[in-house]
Structure 1
């Protein structure tokens, strides 16, 4: 494993400044880059630890605060252990912030993140990989279709609303995607019912996208997040195996 360095950074965007976390091997060399899209609970120690783990495997990892328009991290104060069932007010605060991040705004931001990474000495030249969690899985899919020349691979885990009936549903970008995709779906996830799983699979297959979509039995929405009540250790380790395998094939 590589010794790593993690730092707080600021990224200029068309709408302000996004605070973010950057992790990379501490050897001074450029490394293949991963843009990590957060879940709704935001940039916090669990996500920085995930970035560190990827950096230990030889990657430069950027985790932006996607909610920067509403303030710097922490945008919403969270308990050390997050149980929305016991604390419904958490989603009452986060919900409107999530809804304000429209696909148009998110993809404008994605362009800023990708441009910033392209100028960083820690980042190797060439396309990047993406990994996203919950809402971040949706953004990973959208980014792969919006910036196909900049994305070599994208993964999404326990994503919701990936293939809806809406005119801006993420699965509709499938025809533009050139990256290889992997999705690990939560088995017990009301935000991604079976019909959406099937619709996503059909869209990716029809578009000729290299992909694999797997349902993790018994796993709930949020299964990778160890600081939440949804955490599933076995499903989380399966996620790491799948993600690292995708990155290894990509880079």
Structure 2
């Protein structure tokens, strides 16, 4: 398959040979993932007034995966933002992120990238989620499913995929960096506390730090200075690598701020950093053609 860039030039996109496996999850669960209950009193809920929002199906290699899509009810086509979920899947927080983006005029879509591996919504233990589901998701499969999501969005006639952005959180933040090295048509990305150097594995052969030279789009990285899982030394190494490669990306470190600072439904939520990051994300997308 070829993809046309903004100038109409077709560029080949590799089609990975993905192993055939059953799709375990056929639809999105309602509410929040069991592992994050009870939710915080600070949880933000964005209404769907003026929006078209709800579950959709994305045709992918071997079948289809569920996704949540939100967009303005009138007008279009709209600039497009892929929303890549954290380890808890496409639960209510990720759906709300899509609605927030739709309120800003975006076509936002969050595909469930674990649909083949397992249902994390019903798991109550974080380590179980990581070991039984997250650790089994190949990066190659994620990139292919995100490509399929872009193709589906374009087919609706409501998404302007020439203005394509991506944002993701935690596990999804890492995928933002990887997708920026995969898709030459991406305009910009925003990675919220995405791991930079987790242990490599056969299904995760490269990390963001390994792919700096291949990054195609400007990426804004938002990180916490007190993140126990992502040392500041690794963040600084990534920042230095981006500068050395001449990549127009930027990394912001919020001092004394933990992992998951935008997760308003969890105790890790830090309103000041979250609000600043959200403003920076909007400005980043506008500056780099996702508007």
**Same fold at TM > 0.5:** yes
Name stretches of at least 5 consecutive residues in structure 1 with no aligned partner.
Answer: 79-86
- Aligned residue for 2:226? 188
* Cα distance in structure 2, aligned partners of 1:164 and 1:112: 26
Match of 1:76 among 91, 115, 121: 121
- Aligned residue for 1:206? 244
User: Hey, which of these two has a bigger chunk of helix by percent?
Assistant: 1
**8 A contact 2:87–2:129 mirrored in 1:** no
Q: Deviations over 1:112-149 (max 9, x none)?
A: 12222222211014141010100101101100101122
Q: Deviations over 1:42-68 (max 9, x none)?
A: 111111111111111111000111111
Match of 1:11 among 58, 63, 88: 58
- Aligned residue for 1:62? 109
Q: Which of structure 1's runs of 4+ aligned residues deviate more than 4 A?
A: 164-167
Q: Deviations over 1:24-53 (max 9, x none)?
A: 011042100000101111111111111111
- Aligned residue for 2:42? none
The alpha carbon displacement at 1:203 in A equals 2.1
* Cα distance in structure 2, aligned partners of 1:194 and 1:119: 41
**8 A contact 1:145–1:176 mirrored in 2:** yes
Name stretches of at least 5 consecutive residues in structure 2 with no aligned partner.
Answer: 1-48
CA, structure 1 residues 165+69, in 2 after alignment: closer, same or farther (shift >3 Å)? closer
CA, structure 1 residues 207+119, in 2 after alignment: closer, same or farther (shift >3 Å)? farther
* Cα distance in structure 2, aligned partners of 1:202 and 1:143: 20
Matches within 5 A, 1:92-171: 92-149=128-185, 151-160=186-195, 162-163=196-197, 166=200, 168-171=206-209
The alpha carbon displacement at 1:102 in A equals 2.0
Q: More deviation in 119-128 or 162-171?
A: 162-171
The structure with more radius of gyration? 2
**8 A contact 1:5–1:25 mirrored in 2:** yes
TM-score, normalised to structure 2's length?
0.76
Match of 2:97 among 27, 50, 58: 50
* Cα distance in structure 2, aligned partners of 1:174 and 1:127: 22
Name the count of aligned residue pairs: 238
